[in-house]
Structure 1
Amino acid sequence: MYLLLAGLGLMLLKYFEVGFVAGLSWWWVLSPFALAVAWWAWADTTGYTKRKAMEKMDQKKQDRIDRQREALGIKTKRR
C-alpha cells in the first residue's frame, strides 16, 4: 500500500512539474508501481498474505474467548 501511495504522489508531482521530480524520468516515477506488483506477486506465492490473514483471525478468536471468560469470571491463561 505504501508503494502505491508513493507512486501516486510521485506521479502527481511529475505531472504538475513540482520540485526535483519534474526532472526525473518517467521510469523512476512509475517504478513504485512495478515494485508493488512484485511485492504482491511474492506475497501471494509464498503464502505471506494468507498467513497474516490467519494470524489476524486467530487473534480475533482468542480475544473473543478471553472476553467471554472474563464475563464469566474465569481467569484467562497467559501465554
Structure 2
Amino acid sequence: MYLLGLSLLLLALKYFEIGPVAAWSWWWIVAPFGATAAWWAWADSTGYTKRKAVEKMEERKRERIEKHKEALGMRPRKPR
C-alpha cells in the first residue's frame, strides 16, 4: 500500500510540475506502479494476503472471546 501511495504522490508531482520531480523522466514515475503490481502479484500467489486475513480474523476472534469471558467474570487462562 505504501508503494501505491508513493506512486500516486509522484504522479501528482509530475502532473502538476512541482519541484524537481517535474524534470524526471516518466519512467521514474511509472516504475513504482510496476513495483506495486509485482508486490500484489507475489502476495496473492504465495498466499501472503490470505494468511494475513486469517491472522486478523483469529485475533479478532480471540479478543471477542476474552471480552466475553471478562463480562462473565471468568479469568482468562494463563498460557502454558
Q: TM-score range by the shorter chain?
A: over 0.9
1:1-79 residue pairs with structure 2 within 5 A?
1-79=1-79
Where 2:76 maps in the other structure, the secondary structure is coil
Between the aligned partners of 1:73 and 1:12, the Cα distance in structure 2 is 55
Q: How far does residue 55 in structure 1 lie from its aligned partner after superposition?
A: 0.3
Q: CA separation in 2, counterparts of 1:11 and 1:49?
A: 26
Paired residue type of 1:22: A
TM-score, length of structure 1 as denominator length: 0.94
The structure 1 segments of at least 4 consecutive aligned residues displaced by more than 6 Å after TM superposition are none
The residue type equivalent to 1:33 in the other structure is F
1:14-38 Cα offsets, whole Å, 9 max, x none, are 1111111011110101111101100
Stretches of structure 1 that go unaligned for 5 or more consecutive residues are none
Percent identity of equivalent pairs: 57
What's the C-alpha RMSD, in Å, of the aligned pairs? 0.9
Aligned length: 79
- 1:77 shift after superposition: 1.8
